[in-house]
Structure 1
Amino acid sequence: MSISAPISGPPPARQAVPVAQRALAPDLARGFMLLLIAVAHAHMYLSGHPTGFRSYTLDGGVLDRLVAGVQILLVDGRALPMFAALFGYGLVQLANRQLASGRSWTQVRGVLRRRSLWLLAFGFCHALLLFFGDILGAYGLVGLIFIGFIRRSDRALMWAAGIGVVLHVVVVALLGVLTVTAGKSDTPAAMADPVEAAVMRIIGWSGMTPTYFLVSVVPALMLGFWAARRRMLEEPGAHRATLARIAGVGTAISVIGGVPLTLIDTQIWTPSYAISVPAYAVHSASGIAGGLGYAALVGLVVAGWEGGRRRPGAVVRGLVACGQWSLTCYLLQSVVFVAIFTPYLGGLGPRLGDAAASGIAVLTWLGTVVLAALLSRAGGRGPAETALRRLTYRRGG
């Protein structure tokens, strides 16, 4: 499917769509996704405990085990694919707007590549200063490598997604083998020397971005392209049946595929490595379906509101604002976690368990929702979004 004109027909616009005119569902999905990101990341700043496959502590109390179990089943490995699908969806939206303004594909590709390069740079800085598990670099990398797939046929997208799933399973299985054979060392979050921690974050990021994160992102990215061609989240009412199937099947696959590792990492079940490593791979692969299912669920919710002519309340408007500021809010989460957990600042990493870390994550996310809601009232964008846009278009356009 060659794209010399917009895929679907958004309003012609050379510049970004004004905040007030943005579709509700994509931003609402991003706002909700940031909650999942927060609780999936916070426990990774803990230290001084033995951990399982998903880095939850194995020596926590009952509440810690309960929280870890819920998150392994419903959050871990599900937030990242949801993020990737929404990222892919947004790339197609951006390409459509540029093409509708009269630009050629060559010009549009240049814009998308510059944006991807700057995302890679943002990811490098994020990893250097804050978080070894940065995902922005992977999005920048896939944008550079796979941007041409925006013009490819649906069949090509499905093949790429399928191959991506296979590669994902292989890479995750290898990581699982390393986990049980080589064991785990403390993450950079446990290091008392901030310079040493920064060096180790960059080393880890440089290895994980082109391997684990890259193959983790590709399948959902391709399916995000596919969904954006059909404007599924911009016009959810017209795709109710498809969204319901994706939500139902995706969530079911995610939950069923997540059960074995949930039992293993909460020490309810202690099978041999021959079972636990495949369980780890199945958990991760099924999470791709879960991330897509969650995004579809948000689309269904919005379709219901539109059908009933219901106006979003203050809570929904706050979530939407957070989604519009998703890059800023994502980075703010890391700032808060570093300030609270690392030994050279707050120092709470060795003292807290999974439940407390997740509680801090929820409060942090709520804080970003409130902040975005208050500061976006004038219709402005977040500082990180503004910086990325200015850097992308600084050569005209």
Structure 2
Amino acid sequence: MTQTPVSTHGVPDTANRPLAPDRRSLAPDLARGIMLLVIALAHTHLFTVFIGGTETTPSVLDRIATAGTVMFVDLRAYPMFAALFGYGLAQIHRRRTEQGREWRWTRALLRRRGFWLVVLGLAHGVLLFPGDILAVYGAVSLLLVGVLRFRDRTLVIMALAWLPLAATAHALVAAEGAVSGLGFPLMPDGLVNEFLFRVTVYPVLIVMMFLSTVVPFLIGVLAARHRVLEKPHEHLRLLRTTALVGVPVAVLGAIPFALTKTGVWTDPTALDMLLVAPLHQVTGYVGGMGYAALIALVAVRTNHSRGRVTVALSALGQRSMTFYLAQSVVWAVLFSSYTLHVQLTSPAVGVGVAVAVWATTVVLADLMRRRGQRGPAETVLRRLTYGPSS
């Protein structure tokens, strides 16, 4: 008779293996796959600033692309990604608890995972793209893992208490930019100069992103506790309300900021930005949750009859870390001065580049699914977290 291998803690070793694709919930994977498009749009828009600024006389398409990015992408996609990270962390905690693991063991596991996220993220941010989010997520795992055991009410209070801090930080940065007239620094040419640029910019960005991550992270933990995305059919009223309110609020709240970015509102004062930036930030949180709810509603409709597009998008979501890093490799090849050095000064062209790169990753992820291949980055992180037998 064959026996199932058992670890020293009395839990089958198979419990440490990743869930089979057919046992995974559709909504979180679908959300991650779609949000990688929005992340790509945000990154290419940044490169129009980093590489040489926008054109002195932007075209109508460029203005539309900039306005669309501000209203639908900027500080709207990231909160959803952060919420999905919190959701995933809470899922790991719940599964390990159901398997009989003690909190001390699970806490050590999640902190080990967070440590390696910090290591991988620092390498990513310094070598490829300074807007890295992996190290931020790792830091959140290390510092806030204890919230996984907090009561729902405590999570809500923490989120409400943190919200003014994040909004104030963005308001001060925006106000300082209005006073000084300075925007993002331009990326210099040369291998060493670009490296030093990333090293200089990265610490500032990572602090701002950490401040922006805590609130959606806590919301994600709360949502996972009630399995909102795993069992969306049980939360249809909540999801519909969140989608119908969240997305329009995010768009409306971004209009003042979009007017400044497109040049329609010229010369906003520091006081103006102290009001506009927090509005943009807070409504972005609402919009991120609206996006997640909207995708969950789509998942409800397609869960039992998944078409090829849905399957491919969920395959991308299952390998989101791999293709998030792959995007940065593409950016390095396209935009670095020591590679192709593409001069991306048109936001409209940036949109086309982002869509093309994302569509390519969808195809590649689906090919990996067909071959039964997991994402290399996910495999590395899992082995560093659980050990070589995972």
| Residue 189 (structure 2) pairs with residue 192 (structure 1) | yes
- C-alpha offsets along residues 30-83 of structure 1, whole Å, 9 cap, x if unaligned? 0011000000111212346456xxxxx664211111111111111111011010
CA distance in 1, matches of 2:52, 2:62: 12
Task: Evaluate the alpha carbon distance shift between residue 16 and residue 77 of structure 1 in structure 2; reply closer, same or farther with a 3 A threshold.
Answer: same
The CA deviation at 1:260 is 0.9
- Paired letter, 1:252: P
Q: Secondary structure of 2:235's partner? A: helix
CA distance in 2, matches of 1:145, 1:395: 26
Q: What TM-score, normalized to structure 2? A: 0.92
User: 2:281 is matched with which residue: 273, 284, 292?
Assistant: 284
CA distance in 2, matches of 1:299, 1:186: 35
User: 1:322 is matched with which residue: 296, 316, 320?
Assistant: 316
Q: Which stretch of the first structure deviates more once superposed, 239-248 or 271-280?
A: 271-280
CA distance in 2, matches of 1:178, 1:149: 34
The CA deviation at 1:144 is 0.7
Q: In structure 2, what is the equivalent of residue 27 of structure 1?
A: 29
User: 2:366 is matched with which residue: 366, 373, 376?
Assistant: 373
The CA deviation at 1:181 is 2.7
CA distance in 2, matches of 1:203, 1:31: 31
Q: In structure 2, what is the equivalent of residue 177 of structure 1?
A: 175
Q: In structure 2, what is the equivalent of residue 121 of structure 1?
A: 119
The CA deviation at 1:103 is 1.1
The CA deviation at 1:185 is 6.0
Q: Which stretch of the first structure deviates more once superposed, 272-281 or 146-155?
A: 272-281
| Residue 266 (structure 2) pairs with residue 270 (structure 1) | yes
Residue pair 1:49, 1:59 contacting (<8 A) in 2 also: no
CA distance in 2, matches of 1:88, 1:326: 15
Residue pair 1:14, 1:101 contacting (<8 A) in 2 also: no
Residue pair 1:325, 1:372 contacting (<8 A) in 2 also: yes
Q: Residues 79-98 of structure 1 correspond to what in structure 2 (within 5 A)?
A: 79-98=77-96
CA distance in 2, matches of 1:183, 1:219: 30
Task: Evaluate the alpha carbon distance shift between residue 357 and residue 281 of structure 1 in structure 2; reply closer, same or farther with a 3 A threshold.
Answer: same
Gaps of 5+ in 1: 1-11, 52-56
CA distance in 2, matches of 1:326, 1:237: 25
Instruction: Give me the identity figure in percent.
Output: 40
Residue pair 2:52, 2:345 contacting (<8 A) in 1 also: no
The CA deviation at 1:200 is 2.4
CA distance in 1, matches of 2:162, 2:177: 22
Q: In structure 1, what is the equivalent of residue 241 of structure 2?
A: 245
Q: Which stretch of the first structure deviates more once superposed, 272-281 or 288-297?
A: 272-281
Aligned residue pairs, count: 375
The CA deviation at 1:230 is 0.8
CA distance in 2, matches of 1:48, 1:26: 34
Q: In structure 2, what is the equivalent of residue 257 of structure 1?
A: 253
Q: Which stretch of the first structure deviates more once superposed, 30-39 or 154-163?
A: 154-163
Residue pair 1:237, 1:304 contacting (<8 A) in 2 also: no
Q: Secondary structure of 1:167's partner? A: helix
- Paired letter, 1:333: Q
User: 2:294 is matched with which residue: 268, 293, 297?
Assistant: 297
User: 2:307 is matched with which residue: 309, 313, 325?
Assistant: 313
Residue pair 1:85, 1:224 contacting (<8 A) in 2 also: yes
Residue pair 2:171, 2:273 contacting (<8 A) in 1 also: no
The CA deviation at 1:205 is 1.7
Residue pair 2:76, 2:288 contacting (<8 A) in 1 also: yes
Over aligned residue pairs, what C-alpha RMSD do you find?
A: 1.8
Residue pair 2:53, 2:345 contacting (<8 A) in 1 also: no
| Residue 381 (structure 2) pairs with residue 388 (structure 1) | yes
Task: Evaluate the alpha carbon distance shift between residue 98 and residue 395 of structure 1 in structure 2; reply closer, same or farther with a 3 A threshold.
Answer: farther
- Paired letter, 2:40: A
CA distance in 2, matches of 1:241, 1:186: 42
Q: What TM-score, normalized to structure 1? A: 0.90
| Residue 64 (structure 2) pairs with residue 66 (structure 1) | yes
| Residue 223 (structure 2) pairs with residue 221 (structure 1) | no
The CA deviation at 1:109 is 0.5
- Paired letter, 1:218: V
Residue pair 2:178, 2:268 contacting (<8 A) in 1 also: no
User: 1:149 is matched with which residue: 141, 147, 150?
Assistant: 147
Q: In structure 2, what is the equivalent of residue 7 of structure 1?
A: none
Gaps of 5+ in 2: 1-13
CA distance in 2, matches of 1:372, 1:271: 45
CA distance in 1, matches of 2:223, 2:265: 38
The CA deviation at 1:199 is 2.4
